Structure formats: structure tokens, C-alpha cells
Amino acid sequence: MTGHFESEDWRSFDLGHPGGEITTRWLLEKSGLKRGSRILDLCCGAGDSLEVFRKAGFEICGVDRANVLEHAKTKHPGIKEKSLCSWEAGEKIPFPDKTFDAVLCECSLSLFEGERRANIQKEISRVLKEEGLLLLSDITDEMPVTLSGFDLLHWQDGSEHIKPFIARWIWMTERKYPQSCEGDRYFLGVYKKRGSDHGF
Ligand SMILES: C[S@@+](CC[C@H](N)C(=O)[O-])C[C@H]1O[C@@H](n2cnc3c(N)ncnc32)[C@H](O)[C@@H]1O
């Protein structure tokens, strides 16, 4: 799926993800995370979800491609420059082990396949504290989505958000929705990192 995201055409980092703030807030509520917890948004796009977490009193960091982060800085000036770090899939996530209470992945994990995806999941696990949480919302064929090294605590079928999202994409971009992003089902899940004896 990544080819499309390498093209200059790609604008959906500014169109968010299906359900927008509604699905982000569902993940936040189910996570039970307390104000002040440290959250990493992996592929944070325009920074919309970071802004939700920032305003709710969380300590936030976002990683994405450098040009996308420039956009997030302009769109959400309340997000501090040092909270945004350039990252390209295949690289190590630029934080030490066990830094975060939670990692948020909204429409980002499904962009990666095979070994690349497995390595990203390992990196997420590495930067999470013991029993840290992975908050996932993503296009899927599988319901619920299982992730190796993580236990699923809460989940919801969010597929009703897909059609309005596609309609918004077409309205805003005046382009056909990219076939490479199509999927019938949208999944929301809160996972807990498994102890190291059960890990990868
Ligand atoms: C569908 S958008 C989701 C953005 C954000 N999570 C949201 O929900 O609004 C996918 C994001 O993944 C990022 N991305 C895609 N391929 C990437 C790669 N190879 N390395 C780093 N980021 C990538 C894009 O820049 C984009 O911000």
C-alpha cells in the first residue's frame, strides 16, 4: 500500500481517518489513560489527534515524514516543535526503550506489510513501557485484529465511519478515492503489551 503514500498526490494526512475525533475519543476513553500520560502518535499526519490529546492534558509526541510534520506545525501551533520528530518507516522510532504509556496508530499500521510491519510492531513494543497500551484504528479484513505481542482489551467495529470518510475525501480532493486504500471494515482496538516472556 505504501506506493500511493509516496506520491505528491497524497493529501489524506490532512483528511484524518474514518470517524475523526469520534474514534480517537473512543480509544482514549477505553484506554483509561490518566492526564499526564505519555503518548506517541505513530504517523501523526496533520496532528489532529495529537491536538485532542494535548488539550486533554497528555504529554504528546508525534512521528511522521518531515514534510507532513511541517504541515502539522502550521495547522496546530499549540503543538510544541520538540513534540514532533521526523521518522520514516524502516528507521528506529527515535525514542529510548519504555518511553511511552501508549502508542496511537490511526490508519498507519495497515500501510505496511510483511517484515516491515513486523519490525514496526517490534519498535512500538520497544518504546512502550511494561504493560503499555497500543491504540489502533485501521482499515482491516480481519475483525477483531490480532497483533502478536499484544493482548486485545477492548474493541469495536467502526465500519460505519468508512462511507462518510470516502465521501469527504471525494468532496475535498475532487479525486477518486485511491483503490489502494479501500477496505470494507474499520476496526478500533485497545491492546496491552504482553510481558517479555510472551513477547515476539
Ligand atoms: C492515512 S494517514 C493517517 C494520518 C493520521 N494518523 C490520522 O489518522 O490523521 C497515513 C500517514 O502515514 C504516513 N506515512 C505513510 N507512509 C509512511 C512511511 N513510509 N514512513 C513514515 N510515515 C508514513 C503519511 O505521511 C500519513 O501521515
63-104 pLDDT, tens digit per residue, is 999 999 999 999 999 999 999 999 999 999 999 999 999 999
> Domain spanning 2-198 has what CATH number?
3.40.50.150
Q: Establish whether residue 79 lines the binding site of ligand 1, counting it when its CB lies within 6 angstroms of any ligand atom.
A: no
Q: What is the mean pLDDT of the chain?
A: 90
Question: Residues 35-42: what's their mean pLDDT?
Answer: 98
Indicate the pLDDT class of residue 15, thresholds 50, 70 and 90.
confident
- Any ligand 1 atom below 6 A from CB of 17: yes
User: pLDDT per residue over 141-198, tens digit each?
Assistant: 899 999 999 999 999 999 999 999 989 888 888 888 776 666 789 999 999 999 865 4
Any residues with CB less than 8 A from the CB of 103 and at least 6 apart, and which? 39, 40, 41, 42, 124, 127, 128, 132, 133, 134, 135
pLDDT band at residue 35, thresholds of 50, 70 and 90?
very high
Q: How far apart are CA 194 and CA 147, in angstroms?
A: 10
Instruction: Name the residue among 115, 188, 118, 198 with its Cα closest to residue 150.
Output: 198
Is the C-beta atom of 111 inside 6 A of ligand 1?
A: yes
Predicted confidence at residue 198, as pLDDT, reads: 44
Atom from ligand 1 closest to the CA of residue 104: 6
For residues 12-21, average pLDDT: 87
- pTM of the complete model beyond 0.75: yes
User: Strand order of the sheet with strand 100-106?
Assistant: 84-86, 59-64, 38-42, 100-106, 128-140, 185-193, 150-157
Q: What is the pLDDT of residue 192?
A: 98
Ligand 1 contact, 45 CB (< 6 A): yes
pLDDT, tens only, 116-133: 999 999 999 999 999 999
CA–centroid distance, residue 111 to ligand 1 (Å): 8
Determine the distance separating the centroid of ligand 1 and the alpha carbon of 53, expressed in angstroms.
18
| pLDDT over 70 (residue 2) | no
Number of Cβ within a 10 Å radius of residue 8: 6
The reported pLDDT for the residue numbered 174 is 83
Secondary structure of the chain in the HEC alphabet? CHHHHCCCCCCHHHCCCCCCHHHHHHHHHHHCCCCCCEEEEECCCCCHHHHHHHHCCCEEEEEECHHHHHHHHHHCCCCCHHHEEECCECECCCCCCCCEEEEEEECCHHHCCHHHHHHHHHHHHHHEEEEEEEEEEEEECCCCCCCCCEEEEEEEECHHHHHHHHHHHHHHHCCCCCHHHCCCEEEEEEEEECCHHHCC
Of 51 and 10, more confident: 51
Grid cell for residue 82: 520538540
Atom of ligand 1 nearest to the CA of 17: 8
Domain boundaries, the chain: 2-198
Ligand 1 center to 132 CA (angstroms): 22
**CB atoms near residue 61 (< 10 Å):** 25
